[in-house]
Structure 1
Amino acid sequence: MVESRQSFVHHALGGGAVADVLLWRRWYGSVTVLVGSTFLWFLFERAGYNLLSFVANVLLLLVLILFFWAKSASLLNRPLPPLPDMEVSEEFIANAGEVMRVWVNHVLTIAHDIAIGGNIRLFVQVAFGLWVISYVGSFFNFLTLVYLGVIFSLAIPPLYEKYQDQIDDKLILAHNIILSQYKKIDDAILKKIPMHLNKEKKIQ
């Protein structure tokens, strides 16, 4: 039972190396992501370092190391730097484009249903979601939100995998409460809309 539950969470996260890192099955990868994101957040948020300067300095340091490594290797008959092929495969571009296409089409479908189809319920959901994002974003800047996202991504999946039954019970209860409140708000909004729009919505 525990094994099937763990495999379900692992599969839900994609079932690959990313899932292993998020579930701390590759603890060195998880620690690297945690330490690296914390270092970058502190560097840019607290130390006030500039992103462009940081990227330029890192690239400059990398170029210097590779240049002197290659020069010393040719003088001392040592092996050259073990660099992979510097190219992006067509398969990678095709896969990334396909994922992007699915997301863009999904967003366009939602926009079409709101603007052309007049889907009031979907409009309320999207407006409420955007308002929540705007409200939360007013307390943090973008970098801090990204950092919090990384922390939650490394904390929530393993906790959910360990306490899935208890969390599912609480989530079902919270979902029922939110759904009942949402229906009340939704009905109150629909009542304020002219009757002929409500009739058209019901006919659709």
Structure 2
Amino acid sequence: MGDFGRTSVHNALGAGAVADILLWKNVYGGVVVLIVSTVFWFLFERGGYNIVAFVANNLLLLVVILFFWAKSATLLNRPLPPIPELDISEESVLIAADEMQVWINHAFSVARDIAVSGNLKTLIAVVSSLWLISYVGSFFNFLTLVYIGILLSLSIPFLYDKFQAQVDSKLVIVHKITNFISRKANVILQMIPSTHKQKTQ
């Protein structure tokens, strides 16, 4: 299948808990993500709630409840609030840093590919993606875009995993057409300076 070999979608997504949710192997996790994101979108987008005020008010309520719970527990000789020790492990920080490093290095690689190597194919892909994001973003606000992104994340990987063979066959054709157009465009761009030099001579 060319560049689109039979790669496991689950492995491509990291083969972890996130991959299980995106591919609906963890149905409970997928349902929770879908319901929570829908409730948040409805509250803040349709209900008119302000997200900063909502978070601050809920944190204020939580702190007050915990304070009075702790005081009453001391007076009535009851157990204290069951709050676990919140401690981020060094391993978690290193994993997050490694993940960020991969994305940042990829962004630098794309920028270098465009600015230094003059890769027209990469330039077209980046410009098209940014234009599409800008165009879609003009119709929705940020919260709605995030919600749409969650919905797409919960549907596209799942559908691709189910119909990978059919999709890959179409992607091979698109890939060949894109390469053909890119080669023709590079040939035209290489001919422009030489034509200009012939006219000046």
For Structure 1 versus Structure 2, the TM-score category normalised by the shorter chain is 0.7 to 0.9
Question: In structure 1, how many angstroms separate the alpha carbons of the residues matched to 2:18 and 2:59?
Answer: 26
With normalisation by structure 1, the TM-score equals 0.78
What are the Cα deviations for residues 50-85 of structure 1, in whole angstroms up to 9, with x where unaligned? 111011011112112211221222122221112121
Q: CA deviation at 1:123?
A: 1.8
Q: Which amino acid aligns with 1:48?
A: G
Counterpart position of 1:187: 184
Counterpart position of 1:84: 84
| CA distance 1:178–1:13, shift in 2 (3 Å) | closer
Question: In structure 1, how many angstroms separate the alpha carbons of the residues matched to 2:160 and 2:170?
Answer: 16
Counterpart position of 1:169: 166
Counterpart position of 1:37: 37
Contact 2:121/2:182 (8 A) holds in 1:
no
With normalisation by structure 2, the TM-score equals 0.79
Q: CA RMSD in A?
A: 2.8
Counterpart position of 2:5: none
**Higher relative contact order structure (alpha carbons within 8 Å, sequence separation ≥ 6):** 2
* Paired residues for 1:8-87 under 5 Å: 8-87=8-87
Q: CA deviation at 1:128?
A: 2.0
Q: Which amino acid aligns with 2:40?
A: L
Give the aligned length. Answer: 189
* Paired residues for 1:99-110 under 5 Å: 99-110=99-110
Question: In structure 2, how many angstroms separate the alpha carbons of the residues matched to 1:50 and 1:190?
Answer: 54
| CA distance 1:111–1:11, shift in 2 (3 Å) | closer
Q: Percent identity?
A: 52
> Residue 41 of structure 2: SS of its match in structure 1?
helix
Q: Which amino acid aligns with 1:176?
A: I
Contiguous gaps of at least 5 residues in structure 1: 1-7, 198-204
Question: In structure 2, how many angstroms separate the alpha carbons of the residues matched to 1:83 and 1:136?
Answer: 43
Q: Which amino acid aligns with 2:124?
A: V
Question: In structure 2, how many angstroms separate the alpha carbons of the residues matched to 1:61 and 1:74?
Answer: 20
What are the Cα deviations for residues 18-47 of structure 1, in whole angstroms up to 9, with x where unaligned? 233223343332222111101111111112
